[in-house]
Amino acid sequence: MKLSNETLGLLREKSQFSEQVDLPKYDREKTKIGIVHLGLGAFHRSHQAYYTECALNQFGGDWGICGVSMRSTWLKESLDPQDCLYTIAKMDVTSEYQVIGALKEVLVAAKQVDQVLARMSHADTKVVTLTVTEKGYCLNSDGKIDLTHPGIQHDIATPSAPQTAIGLLVESLKTRQQNSIEAFTVIACDNLPENGSKLKAAVVQLAQQQDQALADWIQSHVCFPSTMVDSITPKTEDSEIERISAVLTVQDDAPVQREMFTQWVIEDEIKGEVPAWDKVGVIFTNDVSAFEHTKLRILNGLHSTLAYMGRLAGYELVSQAVADPKLKAFLLRMVANEVIPSIKPPQGLDLTQYSRDIIKRFENPKVAHQLEQIACDGSIKIPVRILEPLQQNLSNGVEVKDYYLVVAAWIRFIWNKQQTSAQFNDPRADELLSLVAQFTGDAAQDIELFLSVPNLLPNAFADNQSFKQNLVAAYQAVIAAGDDFTSVLD
């Protein structure tokens, strides 16, 4: 039997499961859709949908979710036969399982753009959330909308059939403005500093290409709070799908797994209606930037560090890499000497303890987080997670050593991909692979070539000879280490 509305009724009659399983406590049939989510993937289903499920279970309301996949049809094909029901497995020493009913509809933007726009433009839609990854914001290296991006150029030429999340927001907001429908709240949930502000700027800038009056209306009427999101959510492998289905006693073809820990911090500036998230653990604050920078630089920064260094050391999983004594010692040293000095923490947060807690989360063997998954899109992640704090430390006179090794490991990771013809996931993959194919093994020449790539690294590094010299030294050390990568960490 497959998970569905029908089998959900049977599960409610079941006296007990082999492990703890929670089921929806509200009437799904009577719950209208009030949220549209752009970028339907594992993280949204394990995080924002989870908080919405908790709010529905306790307080009800018309907060069903329409999940929009931008291109892939896989989730729609998997979830439609299940009436959009799926399971979250919260993994720890003792695991917990929860069937999520908040998701009520799945659309594919590339194939159903008119239906997506109709749903976003409907008066019942009060909130639009996004997890489209950093590259989905179509920003240039200065954090502004990239008007040369092919998707953005398409949306300028054909606004009624947008291809990007930015275009979908502009077109649906235009319809709401024309029909005198109150604007929805837009909540960005990607690992991007000041994600709400950057998303608003991108939406306004794209709207300006069509109609200045529309841009002005968006500027004054639409709320884009910034957020910080946190819960490690690895890819769910086939073996986990089988195990979760066995616990549930019905087949679930689209479960997600995450660690037990979860956190969502939202800037406290929302004026419209939202679910009762504040009553189920979501933090609303006027200082979300402090949470953003802390999480981005510690959790995400250390994640990227482990991804590139761990792969160079031959590991596949986060838990394997952090179990290496040299890699763990490197993380602890880097976070103490270089990461923490770059952060102004939220009031009352002990950064040393926070860092230790993060590393302990990495050690969770129940969360099989692939390093390759984290290593994706480095050309977008490295500037934010590594280069920004590196530059801040240089400006503040803080000695930098370990950050250079992280950048060097990233470059060597790309070179390894080119040498082995392995899959390399990055929005600038072709450009970077062609570049490193020209490497000679001379660290100075190779780094000079790498730094010549336009709009890859922040402009502040372009003529910084000290940065260049230190990066050359770090890269030379990585080359010299060869297959014994961790020897460079001594």
pLDDT value for 15: 65
71 and 37 in a common domain: yes
Residue type, 313: A
Please say which residue of 270, 285, 300 terminates a domain.
285
Residue 393's pLDDT band (cuts 50, 70, 90): very high
254 and 281 in a common domain: yes
Specify the CATH number for the domain of residue 13. 3.40.50.720
> What is the average pLDDT score of the chain?
96
How far is 225 from 248, CA to CA, in rounded Å?
37
307 and 353 in a common domain: yes
In the block, tokens 């063997």 appear at 365
Average the pLDDT over 35-44 and give the result.
98
416 and 278 in a common domain: no
294 and 260 in a common domain: no
Q: Are 42 and 50 in contact (CB under 8 A)?
A: no
159 and 214 in a common domain: yes
320 and 257 in a common domain: no
How far is 311 from 321, CA to CA, in rounded Å?
8
426 and 308 in a common domain: yes
Average the pLDDT over 147-157 and give the result.
96
**In the predicted structure, residue 93 carries a pLDDT above the cut 90:** no
Distance of CA 177 to the CA centre of its chain: 30
Domain count, the chain: 2
Q: 65-84 as b/e, with b when 16 or more CB fall inside 10 Å?
A: bbbbbbeeeebbebbeebbb
Element (DSSP H or E) covering residue 216: helix 212-221
**In the predicted structure, residue 144 carries a pLDDT above the cut 90:** no
- Length of the chain, in residues: 490
Task: Give every CB contact of residue 211 below 8 A, 6+ residues apart in sequence.
Answer: 174
**In the predicted structure, residue 448 carries a pLDDT above the cut 70:** yes
Tens-place pLDDT, residues 56-72: 999 999 999 999 999 99
Nearest to 202 by CA among 126, 149, 127, 271: 149
* Residue 129 burial (10 A CB sphere; 0-12, 13-18, 19+): buried
The β-bridge relationship of strands 86-91 and 96-100 is antiparallel
255 and 156 in a common domain: yes
466 and 360 in a common domain: yes
Tens-place pLDDT, residues 317-357: 999 999 999 999 999 999 999 999 999 999 889 999 999 99
Please say which residue of 253, 285, 317 terminates a domain.
285
User: Of all residues in the chain, what percent carry a pLDDT higher than 70?
Assistant: 100
Tens-place pLDDT, residues 397-440: 999 999 999 999 999 999 999 999 999 999 999 999 999 999 99
pLDDT value for 142: 77
Whole-model pTM?
0.88
Higher pLDDT residue, 140 or 225? 225
Nearest to 221 by CA among 176, 279, 154: 176
Angle formed by the axes of helices 443-451 and 465-481, nearest 10°: 130
Phi-psi region of 482 (alpha: psi -120 to 50; beta: other; left: phi over 0): left
294 and 255 in a common domain: no
**In the predicted structure, residue 16 carries a pLDDT above the cut 80:** no
Range of the domain at 410: 289-489
Please say which residue of 285, 314, 331 terminates a domain.
285
Specify the CATH number for the domain of residue 412. 1.10.1040.10
**In the predicted structure, residue 276 carries a pLDDT above the cut 70:** yes
Residue 250's pLDDT band (cuts 50, 70, 90): very high
306 and 200 in a common domain: no
